[in-house]
């Protein structure tokens, strides 16, 4: 592993010339009825009813035609194993054909009640190459509980033993609230022995909740970026850290969020280091499921992807912030320079 990035464990992330592939992520809001109680989860747990899988399949085909590789298809937002009805998705042919175009199918689970082998049987029956990327949602309320730690570890070891190279496991926490120094220290300790790629994913679940006001979202996003920076600084001290900002740019690794009823597909700008930010506004919304619509959104996003403070002009990170469309996020949420936001 040459750097702590989400792409790091995936040897296929670079082409023959050593250049990063153009990769795509889909985030489909299709799972429902979660009984878990993770701190800081603001996802809706019902009515995640995106079901226009023909359009998802069409967009995937069009991106592939334009030179992209489909990297991860996330099935969101709730715990996959908590509701067996979630598996009914796989009865739909367009859904199956969409998922099969990807290298990874991404799911989240707390693992507090274990996992269901049936899900893995379904995925591995689709083809011989799909890998499950499992984000284990850590319960911040329980991280100091030895029994909780043992249960999570036991289930992770069992998953690795049963599925080997066909599963990648990392950790995830929700953000948008204050995390204490003791909680940070404990999470960092858990990352070292439980996360395969040495990182923790930070979930901005509050951005998906329509009942939270824009003003409140601004405050929560600042707290969340403080959390991202805090872990970014931690990775920097780690021996396998190569560079703080990876090659993920808006054009090189677009991420699409799919919402249902009516069908809407949004593309997401990125904060260094290195989380996608869902913004439910028209300039991020694709007119239709096509590469051309993606480029149109890129065009209208570029209109406000402008530097935010004088220091940007001479800053060594200007290219990173610009290429990830961080300035979009900063302008929409009035954030300023993300480096100044402390956790
Ligand atoms: S937002 Fe901060 S890190 Fe990005 S270019 Fe401006 S000064 Fe540099």
Query: What is the distance, to the nearest Å, from the Cα of residue 333 to the centroid of all Cα atoms in its chain?
Result: 20
Report the phi/psi class of residue 107: left, alpha or beta, with left for phi > 0 and alpha for psi in -120 to 50: beta
State the distance between the two ends of the chain, measured CA to CA, in whole angstroms: 27
Alpha-carbon Rg for the chain, nearest whole angstrom, is: 19
Which residue's CA is the closest to the ligand 1 atom numbered 7? 312
**What is the H or E stretch that residue 205 is in?**
none
111-126 CB burial, b ≥16 within 10 A, e <16 = bbeebbeebbebbbee
Which residue among 329, 337, 338 has the greatest number of ligand 1 atoms within 8 angstroms of its CB, and so is best to mutate?
A: 337
Q: Are 70 and 24 in contact (CB under 8 A)?
A: yes
**330 CA closest ligand 1 atom index:** 1
Residue 322 Cα to ligand 1 middle (Å): 9
11-304 carries CATH number 2.30.29: no
The beta strands (E) that lie in 268-308 are given as 270-271, 275-276
**309 CA closest ligand 1 atom index:** 6
Q: Which two tokens stand for residue 81?
A: 């194993």
In the prediction, which pLDDT does 230 show? 87
In the prediction, which pLDDT does 191 show? 87
How many Cα neighbours within 13 Å face the side chain of 187? 28
Given CA atoms 290, 296, 300, 305 in this order, what sign does their dihedral have? positive
The SS3 of residue 135 is: strand
Which residue among 329, 331, 332, 339 has the greatest number of ligand 1 atoms within 8 angstroms of its CB, and so is best to mutate?
A: 339
Q: Which two tokens stand for residue 279?
A: 């913004």
Which residue's CA is the closest to the ligand 1 atom numbered 6? 312
In the prediction, which pLDDT does 7 show? 42
* Whole-structure pTM value: 0.91
Residue 340 Cα to ligand 1 middle (Å): 9
In the prediction, which pLDDT does 17 show? 60
Which residue among 310, 312, 334, 335 has the greatest number of ligand 1 atoms within 8 angstroms of its CB, and so is best to mutate?
A: 312
Tens-binned pLDDT, residue by residue, of the chain (343 aa): 222 333 443 445 566 566 667 999 999 999 998 888 788 888 888 889 999 999 999 999 999 999 999 999 999 999 999 899 999 999 999 999 999 999 999 999 999 999 999 999 999 999 999 999 999 999 888 899 999 999 999 999 999 999 999 999 999 999 999 999 999 999 988 988 788 777 788 999 999 998 999 999 999 999 999 998 888 776 666 655 455 556 788 999 999 999 999 999 999 999 887 789 999 999 999 999 999 999 999 999 999 999 999 999 999 999 989 999 999 999 999 999 998 998 7
Q: Are 14 and 21 in contact (CB under 8 A)?
A: yes
Which residue's CA is the closest to the ligand 1 atom numbered 2? 337
Which residue among 321, 326, 332 has the greatest number of ligand 1 atoms within 8 angstroms of its CB, and so is best to mutate?
A: 321
- Angle (CA) 200-206-210 rounded to 5° is 155
* Phi, psi (degrees; rounded to nearest 5) at 323: -70, -25
As for ligand 1, residues whose beta carbon falls within 6 Å of it are: 308-309, 311-312, 315, 317-318, 321, 337, 339
The SS3 of residue 74 is: strand
Which residue's CA is the closest to the ligand 1 atom numbered 1? 337
Could you tell me which residues come within 8 angstroms of residue 220 by beta carbon, excluding any fewer than 6 positions away? 175, 176, 177, 204, 206, 212
State the helix-helix crossing angle for 214-236 and 181-194, rounded to 10 degrees. Answer: 60
């Amino acid at each position: 592993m040459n750097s702590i990035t989400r792409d790091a464990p995936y040897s296929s992330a670079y082409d023959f010339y050593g250049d990063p592939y153009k990769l795509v992520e889909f985030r489909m809001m299709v799972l429902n009825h979660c009984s878990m109680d993770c701190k800081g989860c603001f996802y809706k747990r019902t009515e995640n009813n995106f079901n226009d899988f023909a359009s998802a399949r069409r967009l995937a085909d069009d991106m592939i035609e334009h030179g992209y590789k489909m990297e991860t298809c996330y099935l969101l937002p709730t715990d996959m194993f908590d509701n067996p009805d979630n598996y009914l998705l796989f009865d739909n042919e367009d859904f199956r054909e969409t998922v099969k175009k990807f290298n990874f199918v991404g799911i989240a689970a707390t693992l507090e009640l274990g996992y269901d082998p049936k899900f893995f049987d379904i995925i591995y029956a689709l083809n011989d190459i799909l890998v499950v990327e499992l984000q284990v949602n850590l319960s911040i309320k329980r991280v100091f509980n030895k029994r909780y730690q043992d249960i999570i570890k036991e289930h992770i070891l069992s998953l690795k033993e049963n599925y080997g190279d066909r599963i990648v496991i990392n950790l995830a926490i929700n953000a948008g609230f204050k995390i204490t120094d003791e909680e940070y220290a404990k999470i960092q300790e858990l990352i070292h022995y439980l996360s395969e790629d040495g990182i923790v994913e930070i979930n901005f679940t509050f951005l998906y909740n329509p009942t939270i006001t824009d003003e409140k979202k601004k405050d929560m996003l600042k707290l969340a970026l403080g959390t991202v920076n805090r872990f970014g600084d931690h990775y920097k001290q780690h021996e396998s850290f190569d560079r703080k900002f990876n090659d993920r740019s808006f054009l090189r690794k677009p991420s699409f969020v799919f919402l249902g009823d009516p069908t809407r597909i949004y593309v997401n700008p990125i904060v260094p280091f290195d989380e996608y930010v869902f913004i439910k506004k028209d300039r991020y919304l694709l007119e239709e499921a096509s590469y051309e619509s993606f480029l149109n959104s890129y065009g209208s996003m570029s209109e406000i992807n402008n530097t935010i403070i004088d220091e940007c002009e001479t800053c060594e990170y200007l290219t990173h912030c610009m290429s990830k469309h961080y300035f979009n996020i900063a302008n929409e949420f009035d954030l300023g320079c993300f480096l100044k936001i402390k956790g």
